[in-house]
Amino acid sequence: MMRYRLEKRPEPSKLMLYGTPVAAVVLTMILGCLLFSAIGYNGLRAVQEIFLTPLTNPYKWQDLGIKAAPLIIIGTGLSVAYRANVWNIGAEGQYIIGALAATGVALMTWGMSGWWILPVMAIAGMAAGMAYASIPAFLKTRLNVNEILTSLMLTYASVQLIYYLIRGPWKDPMGIGFPQSRLFSEAARLPNIIPGTIVHLGVPIAVIVALIAWFVMSKTVFGYRMRVVGAAPHAARYGGFSETRTIWLAMLVSGGLAGLAGMLEVAGPFQRMVPGFPTNYGFTAIIVAFLGRLNPLGVIVAGVVLAITFVGGQVAQTTIGLPDEATGIFQAMMLFLLLAGDILVRYRIRRVSPEASVGAA
């Protein structure tokens, strides 16, 4: 029997480091083409519709913008946390709670007008996202409970909270029985920035958030802390950065940004809270963060790439009848190939032959 083992490479090259995301995307297209051909679709068409049509068809660009915006904002927060090896997997929950807090403000101020309503919603959304992320932070720092599990499980709780609120206290009185909140008043809706399109204020905000994060991560002590804790925890302690504080900061930043994305999404495209609000942006943003090499500038590019798969998935659904799940399959394949590629960049596979001696296992 042959055994295989991973052996660390002396030095992964810079080129490979930045080449893997590109290779992962290209390989996803190739494998996706083969996979969908094998199960009886036109594989080439599928890949073309999913990856190219959104780019070549100008009508789809606005869709790309509004899909990419939440991915970029959440992905930026996650890239900050993951840099410090803090694995917040529950951005979806923080995104939902942020949206619910913003909805709460919108409903309380319903019928009022004033420029201050949107900023208050944004603050509420971020604060709520932070508060929700502080639960795993507390459990991790106090009781050493793995943040991956707690943050993930809290996501499911947040979904139930939507159902409760829009069936009960926040139910639209004019909704003829539909479980949804009432439509936000004008002052609680995000303005469109390009007339005649659906592009809302959240799109430029996403780019600005990523740029600020890039600056913070590369130029400030905060960013330095995140990088050094992730790269060498022992050296971080020597340098005076406590692990507990870093975990809190990482959780609060990623939770706060997820909450902000939730607010922008509910005040922008949705304009009311509905049962279908959770669309897994929080999970997809994990792919965005890794595809963007945990670098906020990379996250902008990666956010657009993932937005392409969303938009393209819908195109392929209508044009060649590809199932809804195809988008998810492509996205998952991309993450899988990226992570596999990362391992091969840092390690190489070595074959280990069992020794010719008695009782080889």
Partner 1 sequence: MPNRLELTGITKQFPGVLANDHVSFVVKPGEIHALLGENGAGKSTLVKMIYGIMQPDAGEIRWNGEPVVVANPKAARKLGIGMVFQHFSLFEALTVLENIALGMDAKIPSRELESRIREVMETYGLALDPHRTVATLSVGERQRIEIVRALLLNPQLLIMDEPTSVLTPQEVEQLFTVLRKLAAEGCSILYISHKLHEIKALCDTATILRGGKLVDTCDPKEETSRSMAEKMIGTGLKDIVRAEGRAFGQPKLVVNRLSTGKTGHFDVPVDNVSFTVRAGEILGVAGVAGNGQNALLDALSGELIGDDREAITIDGHGIGLMNTTERRRQGLCAVPEERNGHAAVGDFTLSDNSVLTARDRLGMVMMGLINSGAAKTYTGKVIADFAVKALGPASTAGSLSGGNLQKYIMGREILQKPSVLVVSQPTWGVDAGAAAAIHQALVDLAAAGSAIVVISQDLDELRALCDTLAVINMGRLSAARPVKDFSVEEIGLLMGGVHGSMETA
Q: How many residues bind partner 1 (CB under 8 A)?
A: 28
Closest approach, Cβ 287 to partner 1, in A, equals 24
Closest approach, Cβ 136 to partner 1, in A, equals 23
Task: Give backbone dihedrals phi and psi of 145, rounded to 5 degrees, phi first.
Answer: -90, 135
- Both structure tokens of 95: 């995104």
User: Can residue 14 be called a binding residue for partner 1 (CB under 8 A)?
Assistant: no
The smaller minimum CB distance to partner 1, of residues 167 and 348, is found at 348
Q: For partner 1, which stretch binds (CB under 8 A), given 224-232, 257-265, 300-308, 336-344?
A: 224-232
The smaller minimum CB distance to partner 1, of residues 318 and 357, is found at 357
Q: For partner 1, which stretch binds (CB under 8 A), given 170-178, 216-224, 314-322, 336-344?
A: 216-224
DSSP secondary structure, 245-267, as one string: HHHHHHHHHHHHHHHHHHHHHII
49-78: which residues touch partner 1 (CB under 8 A)? Answer: none
Query: How far is the C-alpha of 125 from the C-alpha of 96, rounded, in Å?
Result: 9
Closest approach, Cβ 220 to partner 1, in A, equals 5
* Residue appearing with tokens 């004008």: 186
- Both structure tokens of 150: 């707690």
The smaller minimum CB distance to partner 1, of residues 143 and 221, is found at 221
Q: Binder to partner 1 among 22, 235, 340, 343 (CB under 8 A)?
A: 235
Q: For partner 1, which stretch binds (CB under 8 A), given 80-88, 175-183, 220-228, 309-317?
A: 220-228
Considering only CA atoms, which of 52, 43, 30, 78 is closest in space to residue 303? 78
The smaller minimum CB distance to partner 1, of residues 168 and 359, is found at 359
Q: Which residues contact 233 (CB under 8 A, 6 or more apart)?
A: 85, 243
Q: For partner 1, which stretch binds (CB under 8 A), given 47-55, 66-74, 87-95, 349-357?
A: 349-357
User: Can residue 350 be called a binding residue for partner 1 (CB under 8 A)?
Assistant: yes
User: Can residue 238 be called a binding residue for partner 1 (CB under 8 A)?
Assistant: yes
Q: Are 271 and 183 in contact (CB under 8 A)?
A: yes
User: How distant, in Å, are the alpha carbons of 9, 31, 325 from that of 36?
Assistant: 35, 9, 12
Q: Which residues contact 298 (CB under 8 A, 6 or more apart)?
A: 21, 79, 291, 292
* Residue appearing with tokens 């009886």: 40
Query: How far is the C-alpha of 264 from the C-alpha of 125, rounded, in Å?
Result: 9
Q: Binder to partner 1 among 177, 234, 276, 318 (CB under 8 A)?
A: 234
User: Can residue 144 be called a binding residue for partner 1 (CB under 8 A)?
Assistant: no
* Cα radius of gyration (the chain): 22
**Residues lying near partner 1 in the complex (CB under 8 A):** 3, 8, 10, 219-222, 224, 227-228, 231-232, 234-235, 237-240, 242, 350, 352-355, 357, 359-361
